[in-house]
């Protein structure tokens, strides 16, 4: 005889049932989201948690019980994966926005010491800024920039080809290579 359900599934609204059914049928959806959608649907149709787990392709009903408790509290957000272990996430939305602001800013040759943007120059600028992040890693910067749909390589600013600045006794002069166009091909 199965154990009684401590937290049964609350009654689903029509919108929730429709959304769960769409995710459960979607072939282009992530497999874990599909399984998380099938389990509450089966439980809403009157199946036990063990039967709902089997309908979702899982073995144990305990995971369905935890999912149902999360669904009762969070609704459809329970389908989305959460932090999967490892060290806790150190930077929140405010810090991620700070990283993106720095990544959008075009580099200043005098301040940054370079005219091109890279993960290392972003890291150096963020670590030395007064409102910056003193322990940010290049991995974190790369993750935040990629999650925003940008690429550090594609968004680089380019210097004018064949033009360099050289320091002479009289000061800084701009030297132009007359063969730059031929060298580029």
pLDDT above 60: residue 158? no
Question: Three-class SS of residue 149?
Answer: coil
Give the CA radius of gyration of the chain: 27
pLDDT band per the 50, 70, 90 thresholds, residue 165 = confident
Supply the pLDDT for residue 116: 77
**Exposed/middle/buried for residue 173 (C-beta within 10 Å: 0-12, 13-18, 19+):** exposed
Q: Average the pLDDT over 11-35 and give the result.
A: 91
Q: Looking at the predicted structure, is the pLDDT value of residue 157 above 60?
A: no
**pTM of full prediction above 0.75:** no
Please give the mean pLDDT across all residues of the chain.
Answer: 85
Count of alpha carbons within 13 angstroms of residue 111, beta-carbon side = 11
CA dihedral for 8, 14, 20, 21, sign (positive or negative): positive
DSSP 58: -
Residue-wise pLDDT for 71-119, tens only, equals 999 999 999 888 788 888 788 899 999 999 998 888 777 877 777 788 8
Residue 48 has pLDDT above 60, yes or no: yes
Domain ranges in the chain are 14-79, 93-147
Using pLDDT thresholds of 50, 70 and 90, give the confidence band for residue 160: low
- The token duo for 178 is 């007359």
Closest CA to 22 of 9, 33, 7: 33
């Amino acid at each position: 005889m199965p154990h009684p359900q401590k937290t049964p599934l609350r009654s689903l609204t029509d919108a929730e049932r429709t959304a769960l059914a769409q995710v459960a049928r979607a072939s282009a959806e992530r497999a874990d989201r599909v399984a998380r959608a099938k389990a509450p649907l089966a439980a809403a149709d009157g199946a036990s948690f063990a039967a709902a787990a089997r309908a979702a392709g899982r073995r144990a009903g305990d995971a369905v019980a935890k999912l149902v408790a999360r669904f009762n509290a969070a609704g459809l957000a329970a389908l989305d994966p959460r932090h999967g272990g490892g060290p806790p996430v150190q930077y929140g939305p405010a810090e991620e926005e700070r990283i993106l602001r720095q990544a959008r800013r075009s580099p200043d040759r005098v301040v940054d010491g370079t005219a091109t943007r890279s993960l290392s120059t972003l890291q150096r600028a963020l670590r030395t800024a007064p409102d910056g992040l003193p322990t940010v890693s290049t991995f974190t910067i790369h993750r935040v920039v990629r999650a925003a749909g940008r690429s550090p390589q594609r968004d680089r600013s380019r210097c004018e080809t064949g033009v360099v600045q050289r320091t002479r006794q009289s000061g800084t002069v701009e030297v132009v290579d007359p063969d730059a166009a031929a060298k580029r091909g």
